[in-house]
Amino acid sequence: TERTFIAIKPDGVQRGLIGPIITRFEQRGFKLIAIKLVTPGKEHLEKHYADLAGKPFFPGLIEYMNSGPICAMIWEGREVVKTGRILLGATNPLASAPGTIRGDYAIDVGRNVCHGSDAVESAEKEIALWFQESEITSYKASQFDWVYEKP
């Protein structure tokens, strides 16, 4: 089954959005298989956003991500990477449709409350960066027989 890495950024945690963001993924039918609050430090955050290292906003991005605890999660389900990005909305919240997380809770691209992996391959890399194998659970969600026609 497909997995994605979703992280509620420091502004999302501080603004009390952990519950509402988790609720959107839960209510869609996805399964939470790992979760923790972490402040991993700049070096780790620079690895996470390594692809953006040359961008002018990179130092500000790292400072933002290092400004408080992050709620790191792994969600599982059919096409969860792509669908997770749709739930998040566009990178720039001003371009995000209402009904999306960023479209409902954010304004500034530099304070867009939540991260989601952009491809299956990056999801696998990010999961390996943020989680130990022992932190990832495995269970049958009782609702799955109702969420999927063929599980």
Residues within the interface to ligand GTP (CB under 6 A): 52, 57, 60-61, 91, 109-110, 112, 115-116, 118
Provide the 3-class DSSP secondary structure of residue 34: strand
Tokens 């096409």, residue? Answer: 79
Does residue 44 carry a catalytic annotation? no
Smallest gap from Cβ 151 to ligand GTP, in A, equals: 28
Strands 3-8 and 114-116: antiparallel
Backbone angles phi, psi at 129, to 5 degrees: -75, -40
Smallest gap from Cβ 138 to ligand GTP, in A, equals: 26
Based on CB atoms, which residue is closest to Mg ion, 76 or 126?
126
Specify the amino acid at residue 118.
D
Residue 110 interacts with, from Mg ion, ligand GTP, none (CB under 5-8 Å by kind): ligand GTP
Based on CB atoms, which residue is closest to ligand GTP, 33 or 65?
65
85 is in an annotated binding site: yes
Other beta carbons within 10 angstroms of residue 116's beta carbon come to 25
Tell me how far apart the alpha carbons of residues 132 and 135 are, in angstroms, rounded to a whole number.
5
24 is in an annotated binding site: no
Smallest gap from Cβ 23 to Mg ion, in A, equals: 23
Q: What are the b/e assignments for 65-79, b being 16+ CB within 10 Å? A: bbeebbbbbbbbbee
Query: Which of 105, 115, 117, 123 is flagged as catalytic?
Result: 115
Detail the residues annotated as belonging to a binding site: 9, 57, 85, 91, 102, 112
Detail the residues annotated as belonging to a binding site for ATP: 9, 57, 85, 91, 102, 112
Task: Write out the catalytic residue numbers.
Answer: 115
